Chain A
Amino acid sequence: MIDGLLAVVRKRLQVELRSVTWFGSVLLLFLVFGAAAVRSIGLFDLDSAAFDTDQVKHQNDADAVFQTYSQLSVAVDRQPAPLRLLIRGGEDAFASCAVTGGRFRPTSFRSRQTAPPSAQGAFSFDPARVIALLGSLTALLVTSGTIAREREEGTLQVVLTYPCRRSVVLLGEHLAALLATILPVIASVAGLIAFAAATGRIHLDGETLGALAGVLAMLVLLLSAAVAAGLFISASTRNAATAITASFVVWVVFAVLSPAAASSLVTLVQPVDVAPSNPASSATLMQYSLGSYELKHRDQERAGREGLQRIRQADLYGAMTTSSPYMLFVSGAEAASGTGIDAYKAFLSRVHDTESQFVRWEDGMLAQYPERATTYNAGDFPIDLGGIPQNQVFVAGGILGGGVAQRLLMMLIWNAALLFAAYQRFARYDARV
C-alpha cells in the first residue's frame, strides 16, 4: 500500500511540477511575495527604531528629577514581535506603549504610527497573507483539474484498474498536490527568515522558532485544506473547466468575500461608541484646546468603554474566523507570532497590573508624605522614590498555547471534513467517459 502511495505521489508530482498552471501561479506568488517582503522589512525597521526611541524617552522621563508625587509616571513598552516580519497582524492598530500616571493622571496609550498612510488600505498584504491567498489559489487550481481532467481524457479508467485502493489514489493525489504547493511557499518563507536572521533583524532563539513552527503548521494545514477542497470539487464535477470555475468561486467566497463580510458584520453587531474626545485625532485637537471639554469631564470612563467595545469587536471577529480556513489561518498565525489580539490583551492586562501596583505604591508614599502630593517649596528635600515600580517592557512571548492549539484543531477539523467529503465522492465516482 505504501509503495502504491509513493508511486502515485511521485508520478503525480512529476506531472504537476511541469504544468503551466503551477509554474505561472508560483511565478506570481514569488513576485507578490517579494514586494510584500520588501515592504514588510521596511516597516520592521521603522517599528524597531520607534520602540528604541520610545524606550529611551521613557527612561529619560523616569530619570528626571521630580519634586512632587503627581509628576511621576511609569511606562510599559510593548516590544514589537519579531515575526511581524511575516505577519503584521494588528501591529499598526495596537498601542505601542502605555504611560500610567497613577492617582493623578489617566493612563495614556500611544500607537507606534510607523506605517505610512498609504500602507493601511485593504490591499496592503503582508507576506503571510500573500502566501495564504496565492498559495491556496495555486493548490485549488492545481488539484481541481486532476480527477476531472483524467476522466475527460479517459486515463482515469486505466488508473482505477490498477491494484490500488481508491483511497490510496486520492491520498497520493492529495500529498503530491500539497508537496507541489508547499515547496515554493516554504522556500519563500525560509528565504525571508534567513535574510532577516543574516542581517541581524531577528534572532532564531527557541521562542522565535516555536512561533515560526506554529505559523508554518497553520500554513501547511491551510494548503492541505485547499488541496482537499480542490479534490472534492474535482471529484464532484464531470469536466475540468467546470471544476476550475467552481474552485475559483470557492476561493473568492472564502478568501475575498468572507473577510469583507465579517468586518462589516462585526461593526454592525458590535458597534463602537466612539468617545467624543476621540474623533481619531484627539492629539491635534487637544493641542488647540478643541475637544478637551469631554476629556476634562467624564470622558475617561467613555474612552475606557470604547476600548472595551473594540476588544469585544475583535473577539467577535476572531469567532467568525472559524467560518473560513483562510481567516482561520490569519488569526492562528497572528496568535502564534504574537501579533494578534491575544498578545494585545496580555499587554493590556500587564498595563492594568502595573497601574494598580503604581497606585498602591503612591498610596503608601502619600500616607508617609501627604504634603508632597502636589506642592513643593524651595528647600524641600527630593521626594522619596524607594521601591517605585520600574518601567517595563512587555514581550509577547509564551503565548503558543491555548489560542494556537484551538485554531490548529479547527483547521484539522476543516481538513478532515473536506478530505472525507472528497473520499466519499471519489469512492462512488463513475469513471466512464
Chain B
Amino acid sequence: MTPVFSDIRSISTVAWRTALEQIRDFRLIAFGIGAAAVMTVGTFLNIADYSKRMDERARIATAARRENTLEAVALVRTPPRFLFMSEGDERSVPNVLVAVPGYLDVPHQSSAATDLVPRGFALDWSFVVAYLCGLAVLLSTYDLTSRQRENGTLRVVLSYPVRRWSILAGEYCGALCAAVPFIVLAIASGLLIVLGSGRIDWTLSDSIRCLAFAGLSLAYLSFIAAFGILISVLFRSRTTSLLVAILGWIVAGVVVPALAQPLAHAIAPAPTQREHALRLEAAQRRYGSGIRVSSLMLQPVERSSGLTEAAKAALLNRIQADLVAQHEQLVNAYKKELQAIRLDYLRKVARESAVATRIAGFSPVVLYTSLAADVAGAGAENQTAFYRAASEFLRPYTEAAIALRQRFRSAAHVTGPWVEDGTYKLQGVAWVSYDDVTFDRRLMPSFPGYHVPALLAVQAAVSGAIAFVALDLILLLLAARRFNRYVFD
C-alpha cells in the first residue's frame, strides 16, 4: 500500500467516524433544526415583505408616470427578487432617482415618515447561515480534540499507526460533512416556502444563484469548522476553547461591524443630511439675491426723449432680452451649483460606506454576508446597475426633453420679479417651469429598467469560496503544527 493511499484511507476513516459522532451530537441537531426553522419563518416574512414592496413600487411607478413633466422624470427602482436570500443594502438605497435634463438627482429623505420600529437584522438566508449555521458549526467543532483529550481517548487514537495531520484532516472533513445535511435542510425548507408562495417566477438563472449561494455558504462554514478545530487544538480545557469560540463569534459578528461605522465616519466623514440640506438652502439664497429688476433699468427708455415710440419699444425689447439672458445664465449657474453640491454629497456618502465595508470586511462573517448580497443581486452591484441604467437613460432623455422644451417654450410658465412704470414693463426670469405643460408622454423615452446579470453572482461566489478555502488552509496548517507537538502531561 502506498503512503498516499494509506493517508487517504486513514483520513476517510477518521472523517466517517467524526461525521457519525457529530451528527448524533445534540448541539448540531438542535442548531441545525433551529436554523432551518428560523430560515422557514424568515423566508416567509421576507416573501411577504417582497410582495409589499412590489405593490409599493407599482404605486410609486404609476404616480411617477402620471406626473412626469418636461421638468423632471422619476425613475423607480425594482427591488431585487432575491431579498429572501439577502437584504443587502436594500433599505439604504433610494427607491427613486430623479432625472433632470443634464443630470441625475438622488432624493434625500426629509419627511417625518420613517419607521418608528427599530430596525433589526433581516432574517434572510445569509443572516441565518452567517450567524446561526456558523454558530452551529463553531459550537460543534470547538472541542473536537479537547473533548477526546479530556476523555483520554486521544492517547489511544494517537497510538495508531497514522500521521497526526491526517487525523486532523479527517476530523475537519467529518465535521464539514456532518454540517452538510443541516445546510441542505435549511436551504430546502427556505426554497419550499419561496416556490410554494408562487410570488417569484423561477428561471434557470435563479437556480444558478441558489447553487452559487450554497457553494459560498459551504466554503464559509468550512472556514468556521477550521477555526473551531484550531481553537480545539490550541487550548487544553473545553471551557477555555468554548469561551474563545464565543468571543470570536461576538467580535466577528457584532463588534467589528459595530466599530466599522464610527471608524469609517472618522476616516472619511460624510456630511449629514442636514448639512447637505443647509448647503442647498444657502445656494438657493445666494441665487435668489442675484436676481434684480429695478425701475432704474427703465430710465434709459424714459430719458431718451428724442426717440420715436417704435424705437423706444425696440430699446425696451433689447433691455428686456438682456435681462432675460442674464437671469437664465444665473438659473443655469444655480442648477450647476445644485448639481455639484448633490454630487459631492453622494460621493462622500459612497466613500464613507465603502470605507466602512472595507473595515467590516476584516470580519469573515461580514465578508460572507456582503458576498451573499452580491450573489442575491442585492449588494453594491444592484445599486451600480440601477445608476448605470439611469445614466444610460439620461442621454436620450435629455435630448428629447430639450427638444420638447423648445417646442413647448410658449406654453411654459415663467415666474419672476417685474417692474412697471407707466406704459413700460420689465420682467426678469426667476424660473421657467414646464410643470404644467401638457404633451404626449409617448414622445419621451421611457426608462427600460435593468437587471443584475447572474454571472456576477457566480463571480462573487467563486471569489468568496477561493478566499475562504485559502483561509481554511492557513488555519488548518496552524492547527496541524500545534497538533504535531501535542504532548500529554
Residues of A participating in the B interface, judged by any CB pair closer than 8 Å: 20-21, 24, 28, 31-32, 35-36, 38-39, 42, 46, 50, 90, 92-95, 109-125, 130, 133-134, 137, 141, 145, 149, 240-241, 244-245, 248, 252, 256-257, 259-268, 271, 274-285, 288-294, 303, 306-307, 310-311, 313-314, 317, 330, 341, 344
Contacts and interface: CB of A to CB of B under 8 A. Distances in A.
A288 B72 contact: yes
Nearest to A311: B116
Contact of A93 (B114, B123, B247): B114
The 9 lowest CB-CB distance pairs between A and B, nearest first, are A281-B107, A284-B107, A109-B112, A95-B112, A288-B72, A283-B110, A113-B273, A260-B120, A263-B120
B2 interface: no
B420 interface: no
B372 to A, nearest CB: 15
Chain B at the A interface: mostly helix, strand, loop or mixed? helix
Contact of A344 (B46, B116, B273): B116
B254 A275 contact: no
A303 B272 CA distance: 26
Interface in B219-267: 238-240, 242-243, 246-247, 250-251, 254-255, 257-265
Interface stretch (B93-101, B176-184, B202-210, B303-311): B93-101
Nearest to A125: B258
Contacts of B262: 35-36, 38-39, 119
Name the residue in A50, A256, A259, A278 with the highest tally of chain B Cβ atoms < 10 Å from its Cβ: A256
Given A113-B273, A283-B107, A288-B100, A266 B117 contact: yes
Nearest to A133: B254
A28 B250 contact: yes
Interface residues on B, range: 35 or more
Nearest to B64: A290
27 contacts: A20-B243, A24-B243, A24-B247, A110-B112, A111-B110, A113-B109, A113-B110, A117-B352, A118-B265, A120-B119, A122-B119, A123-B254, A123-B261, A124-B258, A133-B254, A244-B239, A256-B121, A266-B117, A268-B45, A271-B52, A280-B114, A284-B107, A288-B100, A289-B435, A291-B64, A293-B66, A313-B117
A244 B242 contact: yes
Name the residue in B94, B95, B250 with the highest tally of chain A Cβ atoms < 10 Å from its Cβ: B250
Nearest to A282: B111
Contacts of A276: 59-60, 63
Interface string B113-135: 11111111111000100011001
B254 A280 contact: no
B121 A260 contact: yes
B274 A289 contact: no
Contacts of A267: 49, 52, 117
Interface of B: 27, 38, 41-42, 45-46, 48-49, 52, 56, 59-60, 63-64, 66-69, 71-74, 92, 94-96, 98, 100, 105-123, 127, 131-132, 135, 139, 143, 238-240, 242-243, 246-247, 250-251, 254-255, 257-265, 269-274, 277, 349, 352-353, 356, 433, 435
Contact of B258 (A35, A256, A260): A35
Nearest to A40: B262
Name the residue in B122, B139, B242, B270 with the highest tally of chain A Cβ atoms < 10 Å from its Cβ: B242
Contacts of A117: 92, 270, 273, 349, 352-353
Nearest to B30: A249
Contact of A241 (B123, B238, B257): B238
A407 B42 CA distance: 28
Nearest to A331: B118
A308 to B, nearest CB: 11
A283 B273 CA distance: 12
A317 B116 CA distance: 10
Name the residue in A38, A50, A119 with the highest tally of chain B Cβ atoms < 10 Å from its Cβ: A119
A123 B91 CA distance: 14
B123 A245 contact: no
Contacts of A330: 118
A291 B59 CA distance: 11
A314 B119 CA distance: 12
A304 to B, nearest CB: 11
Nearest to B48: A268
Given A264-B42, A291-B63, A280 B120 contact: no
A94 B274 contact: no
A96 to B, nearest CB: 8
A381 to B, nearest CB: 25
B111 A278 contact: yes
A139 to B, nearest CB: 14
A117 B274 CA distance: 11
Given A277-B63, A313-B116, 17 more contacts: A93-B115, A94-B112, A110-B112, A113-B273, A114-B274, A116-B265, A116-B270, A133-B254, A145-B239, A240-B239, A241-B239, A244-B242, A267-B52, A283-B109, A288-B74, A290-B69, A313-B115
A64 to B, nearest CB: 15
B259 A291 contact: no
B247 A28 contact: yes
B255 A28 contact: yes
A20 B239 CA distance: 11
A137 B64 CA distance: 49
Contacts of B42: 264
B255 A32 contact: yes
Contacts of B131: 252, 256
Nearest to B277: A113
Contact of A116 (B66, B74, B135, B272): B272
B119 A289 contact: no
Contacts of B239: 145, 149, 240-241, 244
Contacts of B56: 274, 279
A280 B121 contact: no
Contacts of A112: 274
Nearest to B94: A281
